[in-house]
Amino acid sequence: MASRGVLVTGASRGIGRATALAFARAGDRVAVHHRDSEQLAEQLLSELPGSGHGLVQGDLADPGQARQVVEGAVSLLGGLQVLVNNAGVSLLHDLTNMDFEEWRAAFDRTVAVNLSGAAYVTYFAARQMLERGGAIVNVSSRGAFRGEPGQPGYGASKAGLNAFGQSLAVALAPHGISVATVAPGWVATDMSNEELKRPRGAEILAQSPFHRIAEPEEVAAAILFLASDEAKFASGSVLDVNGASYLRT
């Protein structure tokens, strides 16, 4: 497969980091996006095998910055064939113990980044792919299906991302662009590793019959597959990567 230009949003840590490494190891050129994690992004950039990689920075909830991120990636990579919408936030906003303004601010920010930001980036990236085709992979969550009581904006934004991706899978197929989604459960990141140390850590591990949580590389492998030509006909799908911790029919 020829080297592709790949934009991975929110690539400085966790799933995004593992995904950037996976594409680079496959021979692709990767634009590593971050919002305000320059040091981590620079560290990742230094670890990517191959050449032609670079950094792009911006707050994707801002339409103007989202456009600049995509345009920067296109300039850096000499074109764009793959977009991975991974950037996201997970802010606690329990309705039962927060005043309205605090709750609204957390809800709005979550939706702005996780759904609107992904939509903005997708618009500008897809416009780059209309003539030659490409692949878009969204990173959702099992929370879109099972609910997130302490952070309803997160569950709502990820459910919206699922529907957004499926709508575009139909709209963009005539242009040779596939759109698919992965929906992980718990993934081993700095944040989740801290949660595992708390009293509910055992309960989190027990959610999966494997009695563990996913490694970022396992989610990245699913993303890499969905972005491949072999997975073109999986466009519109939402692939669960949660270790059977939540089964939907």
Whether 246 is catalytic is no
Query: 3-state SS string over the chain?
Result: CCCCEEEECCCCCHHHHHHHHHHHHCCCEEEEEECCCHHHHHHHHHHCCCCCCEEEECCCCCHHHHHHHHHHHHHHHCCCCEEEECCCCCCCCCHHHCCHHHHHHHHHHHHHHHHHHHHHHHHHHHHHHCCCCEEEEEECCCHHHHCCCCCHHHHHHHHHHHHHHHHHHHHHHHHCEEEEEEEECCECCHHHHHHHCCCCHHHHHHCCCCCCCECHHHHHHHHHHHCCHHHHHHCCCEEEECCCCCCCC
Distance CA 80, CA 134 (A): 8
Catalytic one among 120, 123, 154, 246? 154
Tokens 């698919």 label which residue?
180
Q: How far is CA 232 from CA 140, 213, 226, 237, in A?
A: 19, 28, 7, 10
User: Which sequence positions are flagged as catalytic?
Assistant: 154
